[in-house]
Structures are given as C-alpha cells and as structure tokens.
Amino acid sequence: MSTSTAFDEARAEDRAALVGYLPAGFPDVAGSIEALRTMVDAGCDVIEVGLPYSDPVMDGPIIQRAVQQALDTGFRVDDVFRVVEAVAATGTPTLVMTSWNPIERRGVDRFAQQVQDAGGAGLITPDITPDFAEEWIAAADARDLDKVFLVSPSSTDERIAMTTSHCRGFVYATGIMGVTGTKQATAEGVAPLIARTKATTDLPVGVGVGVSTRAQAADLSAHADAVIVGSAFVRTLLDHSDDTGAGLRALARLTEDLAAGVRRA
C-alpha cells in the first residue's frame, strides 16, 4: 500500500496530507499501537512508525527521550513490524522511519520483506542518502515499496535531482537546518527548498522537522503536499505519561488541530 493513495485523496480535496510520527515501543508496544490508531482516527493521512535506535543523529531531545524509554523497556526490532501491521490494518498507509544500521544488521532484503509482509508502505531513511543506499533501492524496487529520502535547505540542486530520482511515494523536505523538535520551520523559510524540489519531480513533497502547530500546518500547506509532525506528538504523550487516557485524548486533539491546519480551516 503506497502512500500515493493518501496523497491522491488529499490532492482531490485540495489540501495537504497530515503525516504523523511516533516511535514503536513508546510508551510500550501496545501503547504505541493504541496511540498511532488514535492519530489515524483523529485525521492523520499517513503514519510513520519510528524504529528506536541507540545512536540517532537527526533526533532532538524530545524524540531521544521517547526512544531511550522504548529501548530501556526492551524494544526489539521485530516489534516495529507488529506495530506497522496493526496500524496498516486501519487502511492508512504506514511507513517505517529508521536509522540505517538496524536495516543493515538484519539484512537489507530481509528487512524490506518484513516491511512488506507487515503491510508497510516503505521506509523513510533520514541518515542515509541514495548514493549510499544501492542495496535498499534494489530491495524496495523489487517490492514496489516507498523509498523516502530527505532533501535539506543545504542540498545543491544537483543533489536534490539525484535524491528525488530515487524516491518513491513522496520526498521529505527538512523544514529547518537542525534536528527534530528544536526550531520552528516557516513557510517563507522552506518555500525555496520546496520549489527547488518540485522543479525536479512530480512526486508529492512533504515538510517535516520543525513543524508542530496548526498555524504552521496551515501556512506550510500552501507550499507543500504534506505536513509531517513528530516531536509534538511525542511531547504530548510525555506530558501525560502518568495518565494514558488523558494522553490519548490530548493526542487526538492535537491531531484534529493539525488536520484542520492542513485544510487551512
């Protein structure tokens, strides 16, 4: 199930898609499934399931805290496929967002097969670029899995063209120069990168890193095909760590708020 169906639907409604992220195994495996299903019910069009890894480079302090908690409570890589399976069963396209080493360790082909078997749409790979991902590109192509690579404000036009030529599903444009959950992306700041990216591809372009509010979602949806939110969801759960019900209700409210944002409502 490619993410393209979700983008087609959003486009038909003349709006951006809302992509929501949480790490698998946070607060625990069952809890992450429940939280992600809550986000689906409240209006996320695409789900990113994070794979907790000991040494993430692109994650800021909020996601690091959640990931560390997942690892400390015994997260295993196989858990990510359980979460994907449970979320994809809702019919919402579901991707895995992961650092590279857990893929390489398992075996790239085997990892890709497990994503497919779980009903996953593909992978977002934030710490590897297509020029070093030959094996993953081949494994994804053999299964029609989405390959989502990142472009950055610092990318040259040549590298953007190279990157988008290897993407399937959508292209992930980083809204800021920085890691997740630290600075706020602005439509003005990210518009040039979106324009440079769109000049090279017909694929949808999503903006993530530095996006957390309804107002940002509304502003960014004038330029981007998707708005990607991670740290804000994680923070919501962290803020309610002593009350699961309240956490899920707050998560639903934030999702509805952001969903209204992408509709510029």
The residues binding another protein (CB under 8 A) are 53-61, 64, 68, 71, 76-77, 100-106, 126-129, 131-132, 134, 149-156, 159, 163, 174, 176-179, 182-183
Choice between 132 and 246, CB closer to another protein:
132
Length of the chain: 265
Sign of the CA dihedral with 64 first, then 66, 68, and 71 last: negative
Minimum distance between the CB of residue 13 and another protein, rounded to whole angstroms?
Answer: 30
Rounded Cα distance, 109 and 242, in Å: 40
Minimum distance between the CB of residue 4 and another protein, rounded to whole angstroms?
Answer: 22
One-letter amino acid at 19 equals V
Q: Any catalytic annotation for residue 34? A: no
Rounded Cα distance, 149 and 130, in Å: 7
- Catalytic residue chosen out of the listed positions 45, 59, 79, 146: 59
Q: Any catalytic annotation for residue 242? A: no
Choice between 69 and 255, CB closer to another protein:
69
Rounded Cα distance, 134 and 18, in Å: 29
- Catalytic residue chosen out of the listed positions 48, 79, 146, 225: 48
Rounded Cα distance, 220 and 40, in Å: 21
Choice between 59 and 219, CB closer to another protein:
59
Q: Would you give the distance in Å from CA 165 to the centre of its chain?
A: 19
Choice between 127 and 257, CB closer to another protein:
127
Choice between 36 and 176, CB closer to another protein:
176
∠ CA 44-47-52, rounded to 5°: 140
Q: Can you list the pairs that 69-75 forms with residues at least 24 positions away whose Cβ atoms lie under 8 Å?
A: 69/26, 69/27, 70/23, 70/24, 70/25, 70/26, 70/28, 70/32, 71/25, 73/25, 73/27, 73/28, 75/24, 75/25, 75/29
Minimum distance between the CB of residue 231 and another protein, rounded to whole angstroms?
Answer: 13
DSSP 168: B
Rounded Cα distance, 48 and 120, in Å: 10
Minimum distance between the CB of residue 190 and another protein, rounded to whole angstroms?
Answer: 13
- Catalogue the active-site residues: 48, 59
